[in-house]
A and B are shown apart, each in its own frame.
Chain A
Amino acid sequence: MTRFQPTRRSFLIASAVTAGAALTTASGLRVPAQAKGLAPTPSMRGGANNYLPGAPIVERIGGGGFWMSGTVRRAGDGAPLAGMRIQIWAHTTEGHERDPHSHGATLTDANGEFRLEMPQIVPAFGQPHGHLAYDDEAFKTVFLRPVMRSAADTRLSAHFVLQPT
């Protein structure tokens, strides 16, 4: 854990950075179309918890009712990646996060988009959250653990920008 101990200097630097960022954003110096530098998505802490290597590709996990969705793009040029295998799992109304039947994988379409229906996610270990993983050979492995704003949400999305290996 990093400790934040603000000093006058760090406060001034932070203020200058914030002001600078606000200026560049407001003046349009940052152009979103410049996707060439698209940075890869870093794995999230705790994302790999209860991962099940080789979980099968499924039409739907359990009875459904909750939608997990997202996109997969290539780092650098941001090109959408088709046929990418994304594993999805969570603690749901139908099973614990480590139960094999709480896991399933899906493939991205031609636009690099995926969506998989699954049972409602319920709060576990302090907060409702999902898990998503890309773990194949072409790109570096990424584990994501997005948190839901509310336990009543019935959809959750997460986006991958993958780094070629």
Chain B
Amino acid sequence: MTRAQAVLAWAGLAVVLGGPLVVAATSPLLAWRDPVYIAAGLAGVVALALLLVQPLLAGGLLPGLPMARGRRVHRRVGGVLVAAVAVHVGGLWLTSPPDVIDALSFASPTPFSAWGVIAMWALFGAAIIALLRRRLRPRVFRLAHTVLVAIVVIGSVVHAVQIVGTMGTVSKAVLCALVVAGFLKVVADLRVWRAFPRRKA
């Protein structure tokens, strides 16, 4: 990859990640929200944006961050992602405890909250698996981490799409499509399914 291509790739990523954040940060809805609620909402947008960065890092697809270095950054970003989700849920809790208790106990009337909660638990699971990586057989780690991340991706995208919130419709749709595409591309590139035991003929 030439230097110009690398610059273009990073600039493209910046637009794709920054666009939804700018839209959310300038949403007219913010006028009627208090700072904790605003922070909680933006943390959710950041988390969704990081879901696009993670597979690109794991697959060594970002210029200047080949596989080995990319995976070191992937682990760090994973920690930030968990923190972003914690701020998202914690901030919503402070804003309206009963709504969050409903969501966490799957008693909420709105389907998007259930998808979000499922994605949250799957993310925590994927993070715990990552922390235990050295104690697990590589095949077990790869399989478990990928399956949990697939749940995170599906859950988060459905959660985001169903929400009437601060993200713009177009920027949200583009980001969600790229999150799914990035995940599928890296799963395909790394041939993750090879970790599955081959079925006997």
Contact = CB atoms under 8 A, between A and B. Distances in A.
* A and B: bona fide binding partners: yes
Q: How large is the interface on A (under 10, 10 to 19, 20 to 34, 35 or more residues)?
A: 20 to 34
B34 to A, nearest CB: 7
A13 B95 CA distance: 44
A125 B29 contact: no
Nearest to B34: A96
Contact of A123 (B31, B34, B102, B164): B164
Interface string B61-82: 0000000000000000000000
Interface string B128-165: 00000000000000000000000000000000001111
A48 interface: yes
Contact of A151 (B31, B106, B164): B164
Interface in B25-47: 29, 31-32, 34
A51 to B, nearest CB: 9
Q: Interface majority SS on A: helix, strand, loop or mixed? A: loop
Interface of A: 1, 44-50, 91-93, 96-98, 122-128, 145, 147, 151
A63 to B, nearest CB: 13
Interface in B57-113: 92, 95-96, 98-99, 102, 106-110, 112-113
A125 B89 CA distance: 11
A130 B65 CA distance: 49
A47 B98 CA distance: 10
